[in-house]
Structure 1
Amino acid sequence: MPIRIPDNLPARKTLEDEGVYVMDSTRAARQDIRPLEIGLLNLMPNKERTETQFTRLIGSTPLQVDLTLVRITDHQSKHTSEDYLKTFYKTWEEVRTKKFDGFIVTGAPIANLPFEEVRYWPEMLDIMEWTKTNVHHAMFICWGAQAALHHFHGARRYRMDNKAFGVFRHQVTNPRSPFLRGFSDSPMIPVSRYNDIDRTTLGENLEVLIDNAEIGVSMLGDRKHRAVYFLNHLEYDNRSLADEYERDIKSGLDTPPPANLFPNGDTSIEPENRWRSHAHLLFQNWINEIYQTTPYDMDEIGK
Structure 2
Amino acid sequence: MPMTDHTSEMDATTDYQAGFVAVIGRPNVGKSTIMNSLIGQKLSITSPKPQTTRHRIHGILTTDRFQVVFVDTPGMHLGGQKSINRYMNRAANSAFGDVDLVLFVVEAGRWTKEDQAVADKCRNLDVPVVILVNKVDKFKDKTELFPFLQKVGDQVAFEALIPISAYTKSGFEQVQAEILKHLPQQDAIFPEDYITDRSTRFLAAEIVREKLMRALGDEVPYGATVEIEQFAFNEEEGRWHINALILVERPGQKQIVIGKKGEQIKQMGIQARKDLMHLLDSRVHLELWVKVKENWSDDDRALASLGYTENP
TM range (shorter): 0.3 to 0.5
> TM-score, normalising length from structure 2?
0.32
> TM-score, normalising length from structure 1?
0.33
